[in-house]
Structure 1
């Protein structure tokens, strides 16, 4: 199992669905990057989660600091496409809305 962090997202203006992410593999032992974040289609994230990997958001906080956000899970959009989401009870300051747009 690998651990990944999402640092940015692209949301479709018409559907409100996440279409792309900026993400990289994390070393959970020291919270450093195994791989620098790169832009990828959301299907890559869905596949990683389905294959047993953990995916978390990395939330920007004061200055250049970051904090671990909620764990990401898969979901079905109203159009029947698989996508990603954070838990519905996630506070606004930890939602996808606070991630930088790519």
Structure 2
């Protein structure tokens, strides 16, 4: 099982869904990148989650990288899968759409 982090997203303005992310393998303890970041379609993130990999949001605040909420796969009514932040109880200050845009 690998751990990835997403630090930027591309959102389709017509439906407010994430279409692409900038991500890479990350060390969940130090928040350091373990591979080069790349921009991929959201379907690749969904596939990684479905195969057991862990995906987190990653925010840079005051020059420090901090893991935000975990990312989960979601099903849309049109039959396509997407991603969203997994916020148990809804008590978190950052969401996927708070990430910078690519």
Normalising to structure 2: TM-score of the pair?
Answer: 0.89
CA RMSD, 1 decimal: 1.5
Specify whether residues 44 and 81 from structure 1 end up closer, same or farther in structure 2 by C-alpha distance, changes over 3 A only.
same
Deviation at 1:82, TM superposition (A): 0.4
Deviation at 1:84, TM superposition (A): 0.5
Give the secondary-structure state (helix, strand or coil) at the position aligned to 1:34.
Answer: coil
Within 5 Å, give how 1:1-102 maps onto structure 2: 1-62=1-62, 64-88=63-87, 89=90, 91=92, 93-102=93-102
Cα distance in 1 for partners of 2:73, 2:91 equals 15
Cα distance in 2 for partners of 1:29, 1:36 equals 18
* Matched residues, number: 100
Contact kept, 8 Å, 2:31 with 2:67, in 1: the verdict is: no
Specify whether residues 58 and 29 from structure 1 end up closer, same or farther in structure 2 by C-alpha distance, changes over 3 A only.
closer
Runs of 4+ in 1 over 3 A off after TM superposition: none
Q: Could you report, residue by residue, the CA deviation over 1:38-75 in whole angstroms, capped at 9, with x for unpaired residues? A: 1000011000000000000001212x222110110100
Gap runs ≥5 in structure 1: none
